[in-house]
Chain A
Amino acid sequence: GENVEQHPSTLSVQEGDSAVIKCTYSDSASNYFPWYKQELGKGPQLIIDIRSNVGEKKDQRIAVTLNKTAKHFSLHITETQPEDSAVYFCAASISNFGNEKLTFGTGTRLTIIP
């Protein structure tokens, strides 16, 4: 089955700087890659996703890049703000399958230092 590795497990950045979280996946058939943000005491929330027919997707300060050859994808957060502090999870799946096949990474705890 699919295996998703996520790095780093913790990340601290100064407010205003950029943060990058990287995930690698094992199944070359995977073609759907969502990112979830989990704030303290809450459930995860989808913030952005990318499919394998594109290499990059942006939404304001958040972007995700995908390298199919190397089988890795990354989350980029620019101009970080205190509200970006949270745990971020990547996931991978094959779009022909269902959500039950989503494989999650182990999470990155991002701390923004004021």
Chain B
Amino acid sequence: DGGITQSPKYLFRKEGQNVTLSCEQNLNHDAMYWYRQDPGQGLRLIYYSQIVNDFQKGDIAEGYSVSREKKESFPLTVTSAQKNPTAFYLCASSIDLTVNSPLHFGNGTRLTVT
């Protein structure tokens, strides 16, 4: 089955540690995205990538970093500079960046930092 795989489902880290969230897709999509979901808030865009070796900051990129070395993979690193890292993180992909290409989401990773 084609889809987006996020791992792990739950992740626990100590404050001050960097942590990397995995996102892999086998849909052959060019565009990939990372969103953050907090209770009572809409999905907020962290980073997006239109194509391999290219990525752009979204609305809330501070304290996060990404890489796009392969078309299938778009890992997100939550650094110690992120003030409130505890959240639910969603990865998504689409055929291209246009709104005519609907977003396909993974099942998310819940990160807890204590």
A95 in the interface, Cβ–Cβ < 8 Å? yes
Contacts of B33 in A (CB 8 A): 99-100
B75 in the interface, Cβ–Cβ < 8 Å? no
Closest Cβ–Cβ distance, residue B27 to chain A (whole Å): 13
Q: Once A and B bind, how many residue pairs between them come within 8 Å at the CB atom?
A: 68
Among residues 44 to 67 in chain A, which have CB atoms less than 8 Å away from a CB atom of chain B?
44-46, 49
Among residues 1 to 59 in chain A, which have CB atoms less than 8 Å away from a CB atom of chain B?
4, 6, 9, 32, 34, 36, 41-46, 49
Contacts of B40 in A (CB 8 A): 9, 106-107
Contacting pair B31 A99 (CB below 8 A)? yes
Contacting pair A43 B90 (CB below 8 A)? yes
In addition to A44-B43, A91-B42, 17 A-B residue pairs with Cβ atoms within 8 Å of each other are A6-B42, A9-B40, A41-B107, A42-B107, A42-B108, A43-B90, A45-B105, A95-B98, A98-B98, A98-B99, A99-B31, A99-B33, A99-B97, A99-B98, A100-B33, A100-B56, A103-B42
Residues of A within 8 A of B (CB): 4, 6, 9, 32, 34, 36, 41-46, 49, 89, 91, 93, 95, 97-107
Contacting pair B98 A106 (CB below 8 A)? no
Residues of B within 8 A of A (CB): 4, 31, 33, 40-45, 48, 50, 56, 58, 90, 92, 94, 97-103, 105-108
